[in-house]
Structure 1
Amino acid sequence: MNASTFFKTENAERYLGTLCKHFGHKVPVSFESGSGHIELPFGQCDLRADTAGLGLTASAADAPALDKTIQVITNHLERFAFRENPDLNWSRTEPTGA
C-alpha cells in the first residue's frame, strides 16, 4: 500500500536532510541531494526535494503499517518545519489486481 503528499516549501532540501539525518541514527537511510529513502521497521518513505517543495511517498505491507509510517513521518516533519506549519494531506493509492 502507498500514500503520497507534497509539502510546498522553499526549504525542501533542508527538511529532506534533517529527516534523513535524524532517522539515520536509528534505521537504514540513504540520501543525496534532492532525494532520500527512510526504511522504518514497519514501512518506508521516499522523499524528493525540488524548488517547489518536498514530495513524500510512504509504503507498507498493510493499512495499519502504512498509517503508522505516515504518522511517524508527519510528526517528525511537523516538528522540524514548525515555523511553516505543514498541513500534509496524504492520498492513498489503492492496490490493483487483487
Structure 2
Amino acid sequence: MNASTFFTTPNAERYLGTLCKHFGHKVPVTHKPGSGRIELPFGKCDLRADETGLHLSVEAPDKTKLDKAAEVISSHLDRFAFRENPQLDWQVLAT
C-alpha cells in the first residue's frame, strides 16, 4: 500500500535533511540533495524536495503499517517544522 502528501514550504531541503539525519541514527537511510529514503521497520518513506515544498510518500505491506509509517513521519516533521505548523493530509493511493 502507498500514501502520499505534500508540505508547502520554502525550507523543504532543510526538513528533508533533518528527517534523514535524525532517522539515520536508527534505521537505514539514503540521502542526496533533493531526495531521501527512510526505511522504517514497518514501511518506507520517500522524500523529495523542490522549490515549492516537500513531497512525502510512504509504502507498507498493509493499512496498519502504512498508517504507522505516515504517523511517525508526520509527528517528526511536526517537531522539526513547528514554526510552520505542517498540516499533512495523507492520501492513500489505489493499488
How many residues are treated as equivalent by the alignment? 95
Give the alignment's TM-score, normalised by structure 2: 0.99
The 4+ residue runs of structure 1 with deviation greater than 4 A are none
In 2, Cα distance between equivalents of 1:69 and 1:31: 18
- The alpha carbon displacement at 1:36 in A equals 0.2
In 2, Cα distance between equivalents of 1:49 and 1:94: 24
Counterpart position of 2:31: 31
Q: In the alignment, does 2:57 pair up with 1:57?
A: yes
In 2, Cα distance between equivalents of 1:5 and 1:75: 14
- The alpha carbon displacement at 1:94 in A equals 1.8
Give a deviation string over 1:53-81, Cα, whole Å, max 9, x none: 00000000000000000000000000000
Counterpart position of 1:18: 18
Q: Specify the code of the residue in structure 1 equivalent to 2:79.
A: R
Q: In the alignment, does 2:78 pair up with 1:78?
A: yes
In 2, Cα distance between equivalents of 1:84 and 1:93: 26
In 1, Cα distance between equivalents of 2:61 and 2:93: 13
Give a deviation string over 1:11-34, Cα, whole Å, max 9, x none: 000000000000000000000000
Give the alignment's TM-score, normalised by structure 1: 0.96
Counterpart position of 2:7: 7
Counterpart position of 1:43: 43
Q: Specify the code of the residue in structure 1 equivalent to 2:14.
A: R
In 2, Cα distance between equivalents of 1:25 and 1:39: 12
Larger Rg, first or second structure (1 or 2): 1
The two structures, once aligned, show a CA RMSD in angstroms of 0.3
- Structure 2: stretches of 5+ with no match in the other structure: none
